[in-house]
Amino acid sequence: MSGPSTYQPSHPALQWFEKRLPLIGLIHSSFVAYPTPRNLNYWWTFGGILSMMLGVQIVTGVILAMHYTPHVDMAFNSVESIVRDVNYGWLLRYLHSNGASMFFIAVYIHMFRGLYYGSYKAPREVLWILGVIIYLLMMATGFMGYVLPWGQMSFWGATVITNLFSAIPYVGESIVTLLWGGYSVGNPTLNRFFSLHYLLPFVIAGVVVLHVWALHVAGQNNPAGVEPKTEKDMVPFTPYATIKDGFGMVCFMIFYAWFVFYIPNYLGDPDNYIQANPGVTPAHIVPEWYYLPFYAILRSIPSKLGGVIAMFSAIIVLAFLPWLDSAKTRSSKYRPLAKQFFWIFVVGSAASPRRASTSLPAAS
């Protein structure tokens, strides 16, 4: 991913293999010899933390799937039986459900880091857009995963969100019927969501490979936002970045473990411990915390179509950012006004969920 490798294995068997497939050379040039700006701060460890979380979600998810039953009559009970009867099933489930939240905490920090330091600007536009694609895939994966335990919030969340497509003129109703596989959220919906929830993390992994490839072509940005001038501005990835990333990962794991072992249901909704009931609508239908800023946009606009357009635009606009921001200076460190607007945006994003979850009646 970062040009031809100078790596020469010493063992004859490895030399034989390397001549036929220079895999170790690729790993060596990408994660050992790769030159890294020497002034990177801890906000740059979140890419590694995200890679780790993707691995955790895939491993725990694959094992959970061995015990889960994607059927409307059995899904809820199969999840309860995972927690109560399967050896360490409680651990698997809580690692996976809290892992989704941790994944989003990490991705939001990673994205805000990119916004602050102008990492989306040339020559990193493709790297950034690949990130936006990953983010969209993460949102779809998280949404479909939340439906699987088939609790009240799973069912009603799925109903509200899939219904949004009905706002599309002329074809909306047909799209919703197609998504559901019937005339309401039901067994076919649960089955296709399970299938896609299993598939998408592997698609994400593929896009992450492209993301890291694009990163290694453009080179990393840094807090100053000024491209490194000489070799003296760089250090080799190993040991410097590997140790720093490793330390970041351990700290993040401690934070994650605190949720898993002490407050495993803190980030979840109690209504999801009630089995899905199409006849009873919960008083408040709220998505998981990581969707709330977008849900707030959706519900702030009285027109359904207007709300849907505004919500999707708020995500899609990110992809155009490299061209919307025409400033010559990259990092907000040297852009006092951009710095102020950045923090207003952070506070706005964090405060908007209160509006989405408390002050409005349940969505139809």
Interacting residues with ligand HEM (CB under 6 A): 44, 46-48, 50-51, 54, 107, 110-111, 114, 117, 119-120, 124, 127-128, 131-132, 134-135, 204, 208, 211-212, 215, 220-221, 318
**Shortest distance, position 163 Cβ to ligand HEM, whole Å:** 27
Q: Residue 135 or 259: which CB sits closer to ligand HEM?
A: 135
Question: Of the candidates 175, 159, 191, which has an alpha carbon nearest to the alpha carbon of residue 287?
Answer: 159
List, in order, residues 6 or more apart from 115 with CB less than 8 Å away. Answer: 321, 342, 345
Q: Residue 179 or 214: which CB sits closer to ligand HEM?
A: 214
List, in order, residues 6 or more apart from 90 with CB less than 8 Å away. Answer: 82, 83, 84
**Shortest distance, position 52 Cβ to ligand HEM, whole Å:** 8
Q: Residue 118 or 307: which CB sits closer to ligand HEM?
A: 118
Backbone angles phi, psi at 6, to 5 degrees: -95, 5
Q: Residue 96 or 211: which CB sits closer to ligand HEM?
A: 211
- Could you give the C-alpha distances from 10 to 14, 15, 17, 18, 262, in angstroms and in order? 7, 7, 12, 11, 48
**Shortest distance, position 51 Cβ to ligand HEM, whole Å:** 4
CA-based angle 361:265:154, to the nearest 5? Answer: 50
Tokens found for residue 310: 């505004």
Element at 144 (helix H, strand E): helix 125-147
Tokens found for residue 223: 């807090």
**Shortest distance, position 240 Cβ to ligand HEM, whole Å:** 13
**Shortest distance, position 105 Cβ to ligand HEM, whole Å:** 12
Q: First CA to last CA across the chain, in angstroms?
A: 49
Q: Reduce the DSSP state of residue 7 to 3 states and report it.
A: coil
**Shortest distance, position 327 Cβ to ligand HEM, whole Å:** 16
Q: Give residue for tokens 């067994």.
A: 187
Q: Residue 92 or 204: which CB sits closer to ligand HEM?
A: 204
Q: Residue 299 or 333: which CB sits closer to ligand HEM?
A: 333
